[in-house]
Structure 1
Amino acid sequence: MKLSKLALAGMLAAASVAGSMTAAAPASAASYGGECGAGYAVVNSAAVGGDATMFLTYNNGWNCLVVVRNTQGSATFMGAYLKKSSVESFTKDEGYFTRYAGPVYVLATDSCVDWRGRVDSTVASKYGTNCG
């Protein structure tokens, strides 16, 4: 009888430890949903804090950027910004959106691009990427 009580106690302790080690699932990252249109494929992406993911896509010399929230919600300030690295000003789409900002397009054949995503005060930027 002692052995079975010890075995039961051990199993309960192991189950308790395993249960306490279970963590809450992380917020799921956004996925690209074809917002740039037919023929555009994702060539790069980056997180915008924990709130969104920015997706850089490409099609026949054209780059396109969208910033997609991880979870749809009430309208919040968002922005998608894209430019050739060799120019000063960004092509942008900004405002209050429930799901995504963009798409914004730049023809950047034989050039690198700079891209930026914003959700509220959180900003993520990439410079001089995807050259060619």
Structure 2
Amino acid sequence: MRYSRSVLSGAALVALAVGTTTALAAPASAAPNTTPQKVCGSGYKTVNSAPIGSLGTVYLTYNSSNGENCVATIRKNPGTAVEMSTWIYVPDTDEGAEDYGLYTSYAGPAYVHGKAHCVDWGGHISNVYVQVTGSNCAALKEHRATFTK
């Protein structure tokens, strides 16, 4: 999927650069107005988010019909591909998912079954990382950390 996204993004940029008027549907990864719902799916509602400095935001979404959480890291200003990631982990079940690579607009989706469980999640864009632990645990307080490498 990463390869397809890169190839399609490159094709779209070439078409624009030469002034082609051919109708070319740009992939979601190149869309400047990407939303967590476009990345994760229409059944997913945003339940939490964390800014990644001024570069973008990592979103935690939940689908109540299947009990799955999804995370997506979305850049504020899409452009040249940069290192990005998104991840989610459920400590109670020791299940997790991640997506890491060079992307122009977003990393993800990463899905895990999280109904009735606390989740840890986060992501990064370039050299700015964010992680949220103990999230969505009712009365428990989550912990957030942002750092630069």
Relative to the length of structure 2, the TM-score reads 0.64
The runs of 4+ residues in structure 1 deviating greater than 6 Å are: none
* CA-CA distance at 1:87 after TM superposition: 5.1
* Cα offsets for 1:30-61 (capped at 9, x unmatched): 85452101210100011011101011100021
1:99 corresponding residue in structure 2: 105
Amino acid at match of 2:71: L
In the alignment, what sits opposite 2:135? Answer: 129
CA contact (8 A) 1:115 1:125 kept: yes
Unpaired runs of 5+ residues, structure 2, are 1-33, 139-149
**Matches of residues 60-75 of structure 1 in structure 2 within 5 Å?**
60=64, 61-75=67-81
Task: Identify which range, 107-116 or 82-91, moves more after superposition.
Answer: 82-91
- Indicate conservation of the 8 Å contact 1:84/1:113, yes or no: yes
Q: Which runs of 5+ in 1 are unaligned?
A: 1-29
Aligned-partner SS, 1:35: helix
Tell which has more relative contact order, 1 or 2 (C-alpha 8 A, sep 6+). Answer: 1
Match of 1:36 in 2: 40
SS at match of 1:50: coil
Question: For the pair shown, which has the larger CA radius of gyration, 1 or 2?
Answer: 1
Residues 69 and 84 from structure 1, CA distance in 2 versus in 1: closer, same or farther, beyond 3 angstroms? same
Between the two proteins, what is the percent identity of the paired residues? Answer: 37
Quick one: distance in 2 between partners of 1:106 and 1:88?
10
Give the structure-1-normalised TM-score: 0.72
TM-superposed deviation, 1:74: 0.2
